[in-house]
Copies of this chain bind each other. A is one copy, B any other.
């Protein structure tokens, strides 16, 4: 389903998403490349469920190498993936109450992660994810969602973090490379 195990691969040609393909730069919706999906899935399986803003930024920066991507894409991806994983699990539970999952030995590593996650649902991301410790936690002050996601059209704006993000930091995104 979620895994492209062999043949569910959308016809994403190699490293290019057709969405913005040649004809008319249609900024439709994000069409993740297989590499992007792979990385995101890896992160998810490693336990990351709700990445912080910083983490989203970093992941997005990383994935931008493989193709066009925005932070919101990463955000939505995790939201959706998490929700659907849970939903799927719930449905399976009711559909097959007396039948156990076949425990695919290796192909469904997802189930393991899933189970692991379910055990301690509340809030337990094994956060080894602190990129840089001195992190300036950005106060989650509620700024309304007004321009939450900026226009789809790619903007040239380099960093707008100056407005609120004041952590001096080695803010070179690729510090972890």
- A residues adjacent to B (C-beta < 8 A): 1-3, 5, 13-17, 20-22, 35, 39, 42-43, 46, 48, 53, 56-58, 60-62, 64-65, 67-72, 75, 88, 90-92, 94-95, 101-102, 104, 107-108, 128-129, 131, 138-161, 163-165, 167, 170, 172-177
Look across to chain B and name the residue whose beta carbon is closest to the beta carbon of A156: B154
Given contacts A68-B155, A156-B68, A165-B15, contact A172 B142 (CB under 8 A): no
Q: How far is the CA of A108 from the CA of B56 in the complex (A)?
A: 26
> Copy number of this protein in the oligomer?
2
With A148-B149, A150-B161 given, name 10 new contacts (CB 8 A). Answer: A5-B102, A20-B157, A56-B147, A57-B149, A71-B91, A140-B144, A140-B146, A143-B148, A175-B176, A176-B176
